[in-house]
């Protein structure tokens, strides 16, 4: 385990009750003096070095209070799956605007924004893409994350707020299927990536794909080398087990053709 170091005094983690928020909560505590946790859902009692502020991202006043006094933000909050557009609109689009505007008002200079591989879900699994490829979202969820990346660009260009748009692949304890052999991001590598984004000297507005050191990959992170993220884990150790419990993909199935997997077939939701 790498030696922890403090990147900021008070760090805000939104979406702290979710799967990735729960994984990052104990890890990020070593990287700041005060970890402020926020979600709509209950977070339990604050532990030493923690603060808890419950807030709905669609509530601008609540978000403003949530951000006050923070030095940097790790923004995992919002809806993380395909869903009806009205819900996506409030949580992921209005919520993102509220967050960035609060950051501007309170002088927050750096944000790690949880974007998604579903921003580019309609590229084929036979392709390798980088941060300069145009978005090809695979649904309303991916569309909302593409909006968030553009919003982050606007607030960097106009207000100097640096953002790492982390296009998270599939972050679970281990890969669940053959697709995840390409997209898997271990929890420890997720933490390494977030910490690199928080601590690199110059971040700017950067797009980085969130993946471990997997032999099979569809994403080229060469444009994000200035961040200093070096993944230490790999899906390769799970390959034999994944192949043993799963069948070969149907190459006529859109979920096996496109990088977004099953998301390219979800919905429509209105």
Which positions are catalytic?
A: 141
Pairing type for strands 72-75 and 219-220 reads: unpaired
CA distances from 21 to 91, 136, 157, 162, 245 (A): 16, 26, 28, 21, 29
Chain centre to alpha carbon of residue 162 = 15
Residue the block writes with tokens 């190459």: 251
N residues, the chain: 270
Q: Would you call the peptide bond into 27 cis, given omega within 30 degrees of 0 as the criterion?
A: no
Question: What is the rounded distance in angstroms from the CA atom of residue 82 to the CA atom of residue 118?
Answer: 10
- Assign 84 to helix, strand or coil: coil
Pairing type for strands 219-220 and 129-130 reads: parallel
CA distances from 180 to 16, 28, 201, 214 (A): 24, 25, 32, 10
């Amino acid at each position: 385990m790498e030696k922890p170091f403090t990147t900021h005094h008070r760090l805000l983690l939104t979406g702290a009750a979710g799967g990735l928020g729960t994984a990052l909560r104990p890890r990020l505590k070593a990287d700041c003096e005060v970890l402020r946790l926020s979600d709509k859902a209950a977070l339990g009692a604050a532990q030493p070095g923690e603060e808890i502020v419950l807030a709905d991202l669609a509530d601008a006043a609540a978000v403003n209070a949530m951000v006050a006094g923070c030095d940097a933000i790790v923004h995992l909050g919002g809806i993380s799956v395909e869903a009806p557009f009205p819900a996506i609109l409030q949580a992921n689009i209005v919520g993102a605007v509220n967050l960035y505007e609060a950051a501007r008002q309170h002088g927050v200079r750096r944000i790690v924004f949880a974007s998604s591989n579903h921003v580019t879900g309609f590229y084929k699994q036979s392709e390798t893409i980088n941060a300069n490829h145009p978005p090809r979202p695979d649904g309303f969820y991916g569309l909302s994350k593409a909006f968030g990346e553009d919003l982050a660009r606007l607030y960097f260009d106009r207000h100097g707020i640096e953002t790492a748009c982390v296009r998270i692949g599939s972050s679970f304890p281990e890969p669940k299927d053959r697709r995840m052999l390409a997209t898997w991001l271990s929890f420890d590598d997720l933490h390494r990536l977030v910490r690199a984004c928080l601590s690199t000297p110059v971040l700017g507005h950067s797009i980085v794909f969130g993946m471990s050191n997997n032999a099979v990959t569809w994403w080229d992170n060469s444009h994000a080398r200035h961040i200093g993220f070096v993944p230490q884990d790999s899906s390769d150790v799970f390959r034999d087990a994944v192949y043993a419990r799963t069948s070969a993909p149907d190459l006529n199935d859109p979920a096996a053709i496109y990088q977004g997997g099953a998301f390219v077939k979800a919905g429509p939701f209105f």
